[in-house]
Amino acid sequence: MIVDDDLAFRVGTQALLDDHGYASTIAANGDEAVRKLGEQHVDLVLSDLVMPGMNGIELLQQVRSAHPGLPVIMVTGFASIGTAVEAMRLGARDYVTKPCDNDELLIKIRRALEEQQKDRELKSLRDEVRGVYGFGNIVGRNALMKEMYTLVQQVAGTDVPALILGETGTGKELVAKSIHYNSSRRDKPFVVFNCSALAETLLESELFGHEKGSFTGAHRQHIGKFEEARGGTVFLDEIGDVPLHIQTKLLRVLQEGEIQRVGGTETITVDARVVAATNRDLSAMIAAGQFREDLFYRLNVFPIRVPPLRERMDDLPHLVEHFLQKHAGLAGNRVTGFAPGVLPAMMSYQWKGNIRELENLIKRAIIKATGDTITSVELGTADQAGMQSAAPPEDPVRMNTSFKEYLSTITRHAEESYLLQMLRLYKGNVNQIAKLMELDRKTVYRKMGEYRIDPDSFRD
């Protein structure tokens, strides 16, 4: 949009832009520009600074308010350059002086539109990431998971350290990402550091950085994870593996927000939220003198426990379906489901590797499936003794049955298995089971009657 009270400038600039492939619209004053902006899509505003009525500064303020992110280039006479600079301070993307150099004007328009496109792509990427790591994308309906969701939502809106506790493979990093991408720091970096992945000699350098020449091989200055975060979040995975002398430096970051690079003397202020995770018993490590108690209390401001898969087996069907859809492309989206009997066998497995083990198993089963149905899955890895194969002992459906009868049989088989597993997990507590299944108690009792299941036999 070209906004100028000078007809010759409007017409001449529109002709120039038309010649170079830009579609443009014109407005003779600020009020007309505001009206047209409410009626049509515009990618950039080219506005005169000095106009009768609403001047360029006032138009800029209205554009910034009603259309945040819409770039504005100001056009000004030489005598008003100071005002144009002020306009840039208020949010204008750039300015040009009259009489305009056509090449300069076209270059600045092209740059502004390219920056606008990059801004849109970045916003789209951020929205996508935020969606991926939203609370709703942590799969699970189990009561323990619902408690965890509540804690994640509560702490995300704050800036306090969080400590995520859970076994290997339970999804602690996904929880950390959900905290970051739903916090006020979401547009800043999320920096992941595995504290057990490096030798002790490199650990300090990676966390806090080092100066050139501080040790053999330090050929240049190196920025550590806390400086890299720049207002974002540092996720310290396996925090229990950090040596004691580095724990002291971490304590200083949490207390003072300060670091010193290895080999340096300068104190550097850093702004990074700390989220830590561990699968170890930090209390036992404190008692054994392996973990600083003061660091523990700094990290443990808001503990969040991620339950192991064996404590949320009622989520297994949802997780299996989620991973089947997520990785269906491994077999060209050919595989669409599981044979009856496979899921019940999976629900009886201990899942020592938790969600990670389950996801890897599903990927392996999808790749190895010969048809559109997974007929068996390998419970355990090939190097484990006593590896089990989860497959139905026999197909409960004769292959000459109708599709309707086939579907009904599969549904009843899965429903019975699900009820039995829920009764085992919750020791026959029908009230709790009905709540988790989102059914009324009468319906649950009716279904147990259909399958001749006695809930009393599952109670202690």
Check whether the bond before 99 is cis (ω within 30° of 0).
yes
pLDDT tens-digit map of 306-360? 999 988 888 888 888 889 988 999 999 999 888 877 888 888 788 999 999 999 9
User: What is the C-alpha to C-alpha distance for residues 19 and 286, in angstroms, rounded to an integer?
Assistant: 73
Q: What does the pLDDT average to over 385-402?
A: 48
Q: How much is the pLDDT for 322? A: 85
Provide the Cα torsion 21, 27, 33, 37; round to 10°.
-40
Q: What does the pLDDT average to over 213-238?
A: 89
Please say if the pLDDT value at position 385 is more than 50.
no
Where would I find the H helices in 306-394?
316-326, 342-347, 354-368
Amino acid letter, residue 51? M
User: What is the C-alpha to C-alpha distance for residues 364 and 453, in angstroms, rounded to an integer?
Assistant: 35
Q: What does the pLDDT average to over 448-459?
A: 81
Residue located via tokens 């832009």: 17
Contacts of 126 (CB under 8 A, 6+ apart): 186, 187
Strand partners, 393: none
pLDDT tens-digit map of 232-287? 999 999 999 999 999 999 999 999 999 999 998 899 999 999 999 999 999 999 99
Contacts of 208 (CB under 8 A, 6+ apart): 224, 226, 249, 259, 260, 261, 262
User: What is the C-alpha to C-alpha distance for residues 318 and 324, in angstroms, rounded to an integer?
Assistant: 10
Residue located via tokens 């000699």: 201
Write down the pTM of the prediction.
0.60
Please say if the pLDDT value at position 384 is more than 80.
no
Domains in the chain with CATH codes: 2-128 (3.40.50.2300), 135-307 (3.40.50.300), 311-458 (1.10.8.60)
The region of weakest confidence among 71-75, 376-380, 411-415 is: 411-415
Q: Which pair of structure tokens corresponds to residue 99? A: 């009489």
Q: Which pair of structure tokens corresponds to residue 380? A: 């355990």
User: What is the C-alpha to C-alpha distance for residues 222 and 215, in angstroms, rounded to an integer?
Assistant: 12
Strand partners, 304: 164
Q: Which pair of structure tokens corresponds to residue 108? A: 């600045």
Q: Is pLDDT larger for residue 412 or for residue 36?
A: 36
Q: Within a 10 A sphere around the Cβ of 286, how many other Cβ atoms?
A: 16
At 125, is the pLDDT very low, low, confident or very high (cuts 50, 70, 90)? low
Q: How much is the pLDDT for 327? A: 92
Q: Is pLDDT larger for residue 38 or for residue 136?
A: 38
User: What is the C-alpha to C-alpha distance for residues 417 and 105, in angstroms, rounded to an integer?
Assistant: 71
Q: How much is the pLDDT for 404? A: 65
Computed over every residue of the chain, the mean pLDDT equals 85
Strand partners, 164: 277, 304
Please say if the pLDDT value at position 14 is more than 80.
yes
Q: What percentage of the chain reaches a pLDDT higher than 90?
A: 45
Please say if the pLDDT value at position 399 is more than 50.
no
Q: What does the pLDDT average to over 207-227?
A: 88
**Cβ 380 vs Cβ 386: under 8 Å:** yes
At 200, is the pLDDT very low, low, confident or very high (cuts 50, 70, 90)? confident
Q: How much is the pLDDT for 433? A: 82
pLDDT tens-digit map of 440-451? 888 888 888 888
**Cβ 254 vs Cβ 211: under 8 Å:** no
Kind of pairing between the strands at 337-338 and 373-374: parallel
Q: How much is the pLDDT for 226? A: 94
Rg (CA), the chain: 31
Q: What percentage of the chain reaches a pLDDT higher than 70?
A: 88
- b/e code 350-359 from CB counts within 10 Å (16+ = b): ebebbbebbb
N-term to C-term CA, the chain = 75
Amino acid letter, residue 403? F
Q: Which among 55, 104, 50 is positioned nearest to 78, based on CA atoms?
A: 50
Q: Is pLDDT larger for residue 89 or for residue 19?
A: 19
User: What is the C-alpha to C-alpha distance for residues 332 and 122, in angstroms, rounded to an integer?
Assistant: 30
Strand partners, 60: none
Q: How much is the pLDDT for 317? A: 85
